[in-house]
C-alpha cells in the first residue's frame, strides 16, 4: 500500500476519479475511516488492559499505517524478517520485535550495526534452539541481541515444544556472549478454541516463572484471541507485549466470526 486514499473522495486526493479510466485494475483501496477506527479500537484495548503493544507490520508494510499505529500509542512494531526490520528502520521506527529465530548472517550483521550505531534503537528477537543462540552470538556487535525464548505448541509454527527444551535454550542465551535473555514469547493465533488458548497462556506463564530475568517480557500475538489474552494475563507481573497486526486491514469476515 503506497499512501492512504480516502475513497469517499478519491478525486480530491488523486486528481482523478478512481473509476474514470485513469487507473488500470485491479486497484487496492482502503477506507480511511475503517483504518482509523481499527487502529483506535485496539489502541484503546491495550491501554485498558495495560498491555505493551507492538503490532505486526508485515501485514501492510505501509509507512503511513505504521506511523498511525505509533501515533495511537504503540510501543513499537513487529516484523518477520531482518529485511522487514531494516525497512522499518528506514521508516524511522526505533523499537522493533523480530518474531522469528534468525540465522541470516547478512541480516544479523546489519541489525548488529544498527544497534551499535543508534543507542536509542531497541530490538528483540526470538530463539527456540541453542543453534539459534549461537548464530546470534557469532554476529553480535558491541550491544547484545536481546532475545525472547519461544515456547510453541503441538502443530504450531515454531518454538520449543516442551518446558525442558525452552529452559535449555534460555540457559544457553544467558550464558552466550552477545546475547541477553529478556523473557518468553509465544503465538496462540493458530489454536482452535479459547480453552486451548487459556491452557497455552498458562504454559507460557509457567515458563516465565522458571527464568531469572529482571523486568521480564511475555510476548504473545495474533488478532484472533487478543480478548482472551487481555483477560488471562491482566494480572501478570511481567510486561505483556501484544503483537496483533492483521486487525488493521485484513479479512473482516474471518475476524468477525472469531473475535469480539
Q: Which residue has the higher pLDDT, 31 or 178?
A: 178
Asked whether the beta carbons of 38 and 249 are under 8 A apart, the reply is: yes
Give the rounded percent of residues in the chain with a pLDDT score beyond 90: 75
Provide the 10 A C-beta neighbour count for residue 15: 8
Q: What is the DSSP string of 10-39?
A: HHHHHSS-TTTTSS-S----B-HHHHHHHH
Q: If you ran DSSP here, which 8-state letter would residue 93 be given?
A: -
Taking the domains of the chain in order of start, what are their residue ranges?
1-30, 33-258
Rg of the chain taking only CA atoms, in angstroms: 19
If pLDDT is split at 50, 70 and 90, which confidence band does 4 have?
very low
Asked whether the beta carbons of 28 and 54 are under 8 A apart, the reply is: no
Q: Is the pLDDT of residue 168 over 70?
A: yes
Could you read off the pLDDT of 41-57 as tens digits, one per residue?
999 999 999 999 999 99
Q: Is the pLDDT of residue 2 over 50?
A: no
pLDDT at 156 (0 to 100): 83
Q: Which of 3-7, 179-183, 218-222, 250-254 has the highest mean pLDDT?
A: 179-183
pLDDT at 1 (0 to 100): 32
CATH topology classification for 33-258: TIM Barrel (3.20.20)
The whole-angstrom separation of Cα 246 and Cα 251 is: 8
Angle ∠(208,210,216) on CA atoms, nearest 5: 40
pLDDT at 14 (0 to 100): 56
- Three-state DSSP class for 79? strand
| C-alpha grid cell, residue 121 | 534503537
pTM for the full predicted model: 0.91
The whole-angstrom separation of Cα 50 and Cα 95 is: 18
pLDDT at 151 (0 to 100): 97
Amino acid at each position: 500500500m503506497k499512501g492512504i486514499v480516502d475513497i469517499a473522495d478519491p478525486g480530491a486526493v488523486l486528481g482523478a476519479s478512481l473509476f474514470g479510466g485513469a487507473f488500470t485494475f485491479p486497484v487496492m483501496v482502503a477506507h480511511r475511516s475503517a483504518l482509523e477506527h481499527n487502529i483506535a479500537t485496539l489502541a484503546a484495548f491495550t491501554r485498558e488492559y495495560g498491555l505493551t503493544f507492538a503490532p505486526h507490520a508485515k501485514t501492510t508494510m505501509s509507512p503511513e499505517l505504521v506511523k498511525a499505529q505509533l501515533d495511537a500509542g504503540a510501543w513499537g512494531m513487529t516484523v518477520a524478517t531482518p529485511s522487514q526490520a531494516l525497512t522499518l528502520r528506514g521508516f524511522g521506527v526505533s523499537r522493533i520485535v523480530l518474531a522469528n529465530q534468525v540465522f541470516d548472517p547478512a541480516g544479523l550483521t546489519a541489525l548488529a550495526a544498527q544497534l551499535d550505531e543508534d543507542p536509542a534503537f531497541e530490538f528483540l528477537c526470538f530463539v527456540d534452539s541453542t543453534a539459534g543462540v549461537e548464530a546470534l552470538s557469532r554476529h553480535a556487535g558491541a550491544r547484545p541481541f536481546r532475545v525472547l525464548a519461544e515456547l510453541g505448541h503441538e502443530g504450531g509454527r515454531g518454538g520449543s515444544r516442551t518446558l525442558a527444551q525452552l529452559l535449555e535454550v534460555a540457559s544457553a542465551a544467558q550464558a552466550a556472549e552477545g546475547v541477553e535473555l529478556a523473557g518468553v514469547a509465544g503465538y496462540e493465533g493458530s489454536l482452535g478454541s479459547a480453552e486451548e488458548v487459556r491452557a497455552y497462556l498458562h504454559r507460557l506463564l509457567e515458563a516465565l516463572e522458571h527464568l531469572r530475568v529482571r523486568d521480564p517480557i511475555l510476548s504473545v500475538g495474533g488478532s484472533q484471541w487478543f480478548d482472551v489474552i487481555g483477560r488471562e494475563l491482566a494480572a501478570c507481573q511481567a510486561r505483556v507485549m501484544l503483537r496483533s497486526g492483521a486487525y488493521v486491514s485484513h479479512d473482516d469476515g474471518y475476524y468477525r466470526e472469531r473475535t469480539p
